[in-house]
């Protein structure tokens, strides 16, 4: 084997490895961990009430939620690039750095989202057959609408980015909780409001580095509207205010 051939093989191996890393980055692992923590919180709510966890439905629900998040992350990356939002900074930089093509990312996102939707429908059907419960079908409809129009909702609508992202964590909580065929009581509702407000307080911080770029591209994020100081004050207030709902959930 010639030195030239060896060099080409090494370049191909390096390129393949780089693409694999690119796909991993696109899943946004830091957010997947956050979704997992929220999902575990739903199960803990059941344990606090001395309810029994159905391991199969729990794992199925968590898997569907994580797949949905990954699909949205991929499509959001492609959508932001196509809209010109991430030309200078922002996103995971996988398309901007030439690691993966826009169409590759978008198509992968569509496939993953489709798998997530099928998994969600299957779980809703299993819950119906196991417990004669249709609640997952009911909450699944708005979730399906939101993840289908994710990029428009998160970039073109004021507060869309913050509300959608926060809502996705809330949806994960209820999807996992209701997959156990547990009843939603006032304590669970107050705890879910705590989650919503806490996540809402934290979401704008992911956009701090992108503020100047987002101003140029017309992105309608809370960070752009309020600036760093305004966003910081609001986030601190909302985050601390959220504790009131946690306290109430513990008392009732």
Q: Is residue 5 part of a domain?
A: no
Q: What is the pLDDT of residue 232?
A: 86
Q: How confident is the model over 141-162, as a mean pLDDT? A: 70
Whether 6 is covered by a domain: the verdict is: no
- Residue 152 pLDDT: 55
Asked if residue 89 has pLDDT above 60, the reply is yes
Per-residue model confidence as pLDDT tens digits over 8-37: 444 454 568 888 999 999 999 999 999 999
pLDDT value at position 132? 84
Q: Is residue 9 part of a domain?
A: no
- Inter-CA distances, 105 with 155, 170, 210, Å: 18, 26, 21
pLDDT in tens, 110-143: 999 999 999 999 999 998 888 888 888 888 888 7
Cβ atoms of 98 and 92 closer than 8 Å = no
Spatial CB neighbours of 142, under 8 Å, sequence gap ≥ 6: none
pLDDT at 7 over 50: no
* Poorest-pLDDT segment among 16-25, 79-88, 185-194, 199-208: 79-88
The domain in which residue 151 lies consists of 34-251
Domain count of the chain?
1
pLDDT number for residue 8: 44
In a domain, 109, yes or no: yes
When pLDDT is averaged across residues 60-81 and rounded to a whole number, the result is 91
What's the rounded Cα separation, in Å, for the pair 93 and 238? 31
Domain assignment present for 65: yes
pTM of the model: 0.87
Q: Which two tokens stand for residue 105?
A: 């990312």
List Cβ neighbours of 207 (8 Å cut-off, separation of 6 or more).
161, 214, 221, 222, 223, 224
Rounded Cα distance between 242 and 149, Å, is: 29
Q: Taking all residues of the chain, what is their mean pLDDT, rounded to a whole number?
A: 85
Q: Kindly tell me the burial class for residue 186, based on how many C-beta atoms sit within 10 Å of its own C-beta (0-12, 13-18, 19 or more).
A: exposed
Q: Is 227 left (phi over 0), alpha (psi -120 to 50) or beta?
A: left
3, part of any domain: no
Asked, for residue 38, whether it belongs to a domain, the answer is yes
Domain membership of residue 28 (yes or no) is no
Q: Bigger pLDDT: 252 or 156?
A: 252
> CA nearest 215: which of 88, 110, 105, 100?
88
């Amino acid at each position: 084997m010639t030195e030239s051939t060896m060099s080409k093989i090494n370049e191909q191996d390096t390129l393949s490895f780089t693409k694999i890393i690119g796909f991993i980055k696109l899943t946004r692992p830091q957010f997947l961990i956050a979704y997992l923590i929220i999902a575990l919180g739903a199960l803990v709510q059941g344990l606090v009430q001395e309810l029994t966890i159905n391991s199969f439905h729990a794992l199925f629900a968590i898997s569907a939620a994580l797949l949905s998040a990954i699909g949205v992350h991929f499509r959001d990356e492609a959508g932001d690039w196509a809209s010109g939002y991430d030309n200078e900074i922002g996103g995971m930089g996988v398309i901007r750095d030439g690691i993966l093509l826009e169409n590759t990312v978008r198509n992968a996102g569509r496939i993953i989202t489709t798998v997530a939707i099928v998994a969600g429908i299957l779980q809703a059907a299993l819950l119906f057959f196991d417990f004669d419960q249709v609640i997952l079908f009911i909450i699944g409809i708005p979730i399906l609408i939101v993840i289908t129009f994710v990029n428009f909702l998160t970039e073109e609508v004021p507060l869309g980015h913050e509300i959608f992202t926060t809502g996705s964590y809330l949806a994960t909580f209820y999807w996992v909780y209701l997959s156990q065929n547990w009843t939603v009581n006032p304590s669970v509702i107050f705890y879910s409001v705590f989650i919503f407000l806490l996540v809402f307080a934290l979401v704008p911080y992911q956009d701090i580095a992108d503020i100047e770029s987002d101003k140029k591209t017309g992105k309608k994020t809370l960070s752009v509207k309020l600036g760093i100081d305004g966003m910081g004050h609001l986030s601190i207030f909302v985050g601390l205010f959220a504790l009131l709902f946690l306290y109430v959930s513990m008392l009732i």
